[in-house]
Amino acid sequence: MANFDGWINQFYNLDEQFFAACLLDQLIFRTSQQFEASLCSLFRSNLNGKLFSNKQDLYLLQIIKSRCDPRLRLVPVICETDPPTKSGPLVLRRLQRILQINQKWMCWPWQASKLVGGDESIRTIIFVDDFLGTGKQFKKFFNDWDFHQHSEKVNYFYAPVVAHEEGINYLTAKLPTIHIVSAETLTKDHAFFSNSTWNRLGQNCISAEDAKTWYLDFVTKKKINPENVGCLGYGDLALVFGFSHASPNNSLPILWYETDGWQPLLER
């Protein structure tokens, strides 16, 4: 974590300290080892079963390690305007390192979109990512690189390590030709201000709505309101989730947003 002491010391009175304790209680934090274990599981089992239901578990790994062209490409999720630090390429690099994938079968999205079509073209594209939130960013990525124009010629698989059900449902409706496979799925009950969360945390004294009202007042005073994201995280998912390498912007900004007056707990 970026700076636990710096973050926790910004909560002064008992109400603020109680709220910070609740955030920590609900925080789902995936270490580097946990993330890589999920990545391995995704490719060895979940994704393999979706692609090759009649093959043994390690078949996918065998063909993407081999020298013979599997007519399949692994593609990081990154838009033209994204910075080089975007998580998609990072995930693909880690995948290549831990699973020893042949680099020839990895390519950028602008390369992959040109390889579709024709008798000798690739037949399967696996989009690699760490997190699927609302699904809107992936839809933009998919259309920006014109993958939607080739849906009849190639099988598309989107493989985020962690996926939220809202994003899964959104992409299933908007991009029905894409198969979504993840190692871990989050639901609406993972929202920090869900009733199920505060039925436990509040112990019949604090409701989810009361907690949300308190939080919005607190972050407004502290100016923790990133542009185009909002106080509740992108898409108002209000998650309390982070990886060791980055935190999705669907998580509450109180965890990852940095200002002159606020020290983040997690890396963004």
Phi/psi class of residue 241: alpha, beta or left (left: φ > 0; alpha: ψ in -120 to 50)?
beta
Rounded to the nearest 5 degrees, what angle is found at the Cα of 70, between the Cα atoms of 106 and 131? 45
How far apart are the C-alpha atoms of 172 and 195, rounded to whole Å? 27
Would you say the C-alpha torsion 74, 145, 83, 254 has a positive or negative sign? Answer: negative
Q: Are 257 and 268 in contact (CB under 8 A)?
A: yes
How far apart are the C-alpha atoms of 191 and 236, rounded to whole Å? 9
pLDDT of residue 267: 87
Q: Which two tokens stand for residue 48?
A: 């393999």
pLDDT of residue 53: 82
pLDDT of residue 118: 55
Going from the C-alpha of 173 to that of each of 153, 167, 169, 176, the distances in angstroms are 20, 10, 6, 6
pLDDT of residue 122: 84
What residue ranges of the chain are covered by domains with CATH 3.40.50?
Answer: 32-186
pLDDT of residue 248: 95
Class of the CATH domain delimited by 32-186: alpha beta
How far apart are the C-alpha atoms of 132 and 168, rounded to whole Å? 8
Q: Which two tokens stand for residue 136?
A: 């809107």
- Roughly how many angstroms between the first and final C-alpha of the chain, as a whole number? 11
The answer for residues whose C-beta is within 8 angstroms of residue 199's C-beta and 6 or more apart is 208
Query: Strand (E) positions, the chain?
Result: 28-30, 72-76, 124-132, 155-164, 178-180, 184-186, 241-243
Residue 67: exposure state from Cβ atoms within 10 A (0-12, 13-18, ≥19): exposed
Q: What is the pLDDT along the chain (268 residues), one digit of tens a residue?
A: 558 999 999 999 999 999 999 999 999 999 999 999 999 999 988 899 899 888 877 899 999 999 999 999 999 998 766 665 667 788 888 989 999 999 999 999 988 877 776 555 788 999 999 999 999 999 999 998 888 887 777 899 999 999 999 999 999 999 999 999 999 999 999 999 999 999 999 888 899 999 999 999 999 999 999 999 999 999 999 999 999 988 999 999 999 999 988 999 998 8
pTM of the model: 0.92
For residue 129, how many other CB atoms are within 10 A of its CB?
24
pLDDT of residue 215: 97
Angle formed by the axes of helices 165-174 and 136-144, nearest 10°: 40
pLDDT of residue 238: 97
Q: Are 106 and 73 in contact (CB under 8 A)?
A: yes
pLDDT of residue 201: 92
Angle formed by the axes of helices 14-26 and 208-222, nearest 10°: 110
